[in-house]
Amino acid sequence: MVEFENPSGLTVSAAASPEASICSTGNQTAPSVAPPRKKRNLPGMPDPDAEVIALSPKTLMATNRFVCEICSKGFQRDQNLQLHRRGHNLPWKLKQRTSTEIRKRVYVCPEVSCVHHDPSRALGDLTGIKKHFCRKHGEKKWKCERCSKKYAVQSDWKAHMKTCGTREYRCDCGTLFSRRDSFITHRAFCDALAQESERSHQTLVVASTEGGLKVQVVPPPPPPASSSPPPPLTPSTRVLSPVLSIQSPELPENPSGILQQQGGTGLTTTAAASTASGSSTSSGNVSSSSGVFASIFASSAPAGLSQSSQSPSSYTDLLCAIGSDRAVAEPMSLSLSSSLYLSNNSSSLFPPSDQDHHRHYAQAPQPALSATALLQKAAQMGATGSNSSFLRGLGLAMPSSSDHQDNNSTCTASQWNSDGKQENNVVASGLGLGLPGSDLMMGSSSLFGNKPTTLDLLGLGLGSGGGSSGGFEAFFTSIGGSLDVAAAAAAASYGGVSSGGGDWDGPSDRKPALL
């Protein structure tokens, strides 16, 4: 595989022709002679021998750039335009394949911060990289009218339009699914089904809005063979249908769905209900939800409901009541997006274990410092917290650690005040590290087998001693050196982007490779 060297972080093609540019031959100042690569099938790299191509954003976003001079019809490929020109009796020429050897091409994203900028995450086909670029880095110009989802690629939008709002499956609990298998799986385990199976053993009395018919149901009638539309709902619904003359197989709105939307209280109720079995469970559920139902009915207040809602003491009463007034059920409609039904509600049930969840990581686009410089800084940080432990500093929970913590904060507070090297201490204390004195740090060992220092950074109680000096330089050389070696050896390495060999040392005017 040929690396593309890109020290400035810009796409090479921008400087060259506007067409696709193949970066295998360096055409800028960066040396591009690649040492012969060992073939190695590393995971994550589809084909180590493939040619890596970076197209310009303009090329990727372009739709019809080849335009016929006669009729102004646009084409995505020159070949297609040429074939079209035949129709106008214009001279046409199809470009022949220049190289005899057919070489697999893979494409990288020109956007430097993108994960697909990395040759080992390259995509295998041109259409794929074009779509990726549009989707990820392009403007979302296509919008679905029904659900307001936006797409950058027209075919994505079209694919979405096929399923949006059409083939949606609804569970009794109110959740919507665009895929049948998700619906079936959910349904099998859903509380609504569990409750129905309880109820199927009881006698149901259904009050109708249309003239006082009473229907008694003991065993549920068998569900019909399923075809489109989706499989039938619970037996009680089937009973309701003939009574109310509603043929729809679905109940669009359902109170327990609303329960779920109401900050999770309904869910906890049903969850609690699910762990117990028996009729007491279901009645418990209904009674807790009756307050909700009452308020819902109060808000919609159509005339038709007043007849049927005697008291919301029976689940089927409510189903009946709601079913009879579909038109006014709008206020209760839930617009849950397809199968991500817990997308933002789960936060109320499961407070995230990491504090990070609540923080927004803002990435400051700062250039300048390379990884080497950062490691140097790590070494230089002079802090004198003798009791502080590195791992503690990383915020891991500790039993009986409260006093240690106080020690730490006092320690670093005093570091702040007393130590002249404020800049370094800011870094160290800000990140919660209490690292020992700078001279000890500088004496840290190298990667390759110098005698390791016995710094008591982890609070082990070992004697702290000075380490060998000069080890750190060896460390950096080894990193730079190992990168050179690695870059040569790894067929699927990322090396081309991030490590021009030896460039790692010190802040340089080139940006480190961005994500």
Q: How many CA atoms lie within 13 A of 268 on its CB side?
A: 10
Closest CA to 320 of 204, 191, 189: 204
Site for other proteins in 370-409 (CB under 8 A): 371, 374-375, 377-379, 389-392, 394-399, 401-402, 405, 408-409
- To other proteins, the closest distance from the beta carbon of 335 in angstroms equals 17
Q: Does 419 bind other proteins (CB under 8 A)?
A: no
How far is CA 390 from its chain centroid?
31
Q: How far is the CB of 114 from other proteins (least distance, A)?
A: 10
**Closest distance of CB 32 from other proteins, Å:** 18
Tokens found for residue 459: 């609070």
Q: How far is the CB of 395 from other proteins (least distance, A)?
A: 5
- Can you say whether the dihedral through the CA atoms of 125, 126, 128, 133 is positive or negative? positive
Tell me the closest approach of the beta carbon of residue 480 to other proteins, in angstroms.
11
What gap in Å lies between CA 373 and CA 378, rounded to an integer?
Answer: 9
- Minimal CA–CA distance to 326: which of 256, 247, 233, 260? 247
Rounded Cα–Cα distance for residues 184 and 199 (Å): 21
Region 90-109 residues binding other proteins, contact defined as CB under 8 A: none
How big is the site for other proteins, counted in residues (CB under 8 A)? Answer: 133
Q: Which of residues 228-287 bind other proteins (CB under 8 A)?
A: 231, 267, 271, 274-275, 277
* Footprint of other proteins on 1-30 (CB under 8 A): none
Return the bridge partners of 206, or none.
Answer: 215
- Among positions 139, 327, 364, 509, the unique one binding other proteins when judged by CB under 8 A: 364
Q: Is 275 helix (H, G, I), strand (E, B) or coil?
A: helix
Report the C-alpha gap between 251 and 169 in whole angstroms.
11
Residue 85 interacts with other proteins (CB under 8 A)? Answer: no
What x/- string results for residues 146 through 165 when contact with other proteins is judged by CB under 8 A?
----------x--x---x--
Site for other proteins in 459-478 (CB under 8 A): 459-460, 467, 475
Name which of 203 and 361 has its Cβ closer to other proteins.
Answer: 361
Residues 382 and 425: beta-carbon distance below 8 Å: yes
> Nearest approach, Cβ of 254 to other proteins (angstroms)?
14
Stretch near other proteins under the rule CB under 8 A, chosen from 94-102, 128-136, 293-301, 305-313: 128-136
Contact between 347 and other proteins (CB under 8 A)? yes
Which of 19, 181, 439, 473 lies at the binding interface for other proteins (CB under 8 A)?
181
From the list 24, 28, 80, 178, which residue makes contact with other proteins (rule: CB under 8 A)? 178
Q: For residues 468 and 445, is the Cβ–Cβ distance under 8 A? A: yes
Q: What's the rounded Cα separation, in Å, for the pair 201 and 343?
A: 35
Q: Does 72 bind other proteins (CB under 8 A)?
A: no
Query: What tokens were used for 93?
Result: 């020429």
Cβ-based nearer residue to other proteins, 314 or 425: 425
Nearer to other proteins, 123 or 239 (CB): 123
Q: Which of 10, 193, 334, 474 binds other proteins (CB under 8 A)?
A: 193
Phi-psi bin for 239: left (phi > 0), alpha (psi -120 to 50), beta? Answer: alpha
The span from the CA of 52 to the CA of 124, in Å, is 10
3-state secondary structure 402-435: HHHHHHHHHHHHHHHHHCCCHHHHHHHHHCCCCC
For position 366 contacting other proteins by CB under 8 A, the verdict is yes
* Distance in Å, CB of 66 to other proteins, minimum: 25
Q: Is 166 in the site for other proteins (CB under 8 A)?
A: no
Kindly indicate which of the ranges 61-69, 113-121, 207-215, 251-259 contains the residues binding other proteins, using the contact rule CB under 8 A.
113-121
Q: Cα separation of 145 and 163, whole Å?
A: 13
Q: What is the distance between the alpha carbons of residues 343 and 414, in angstroms, rounded to a whole number?
A: 46
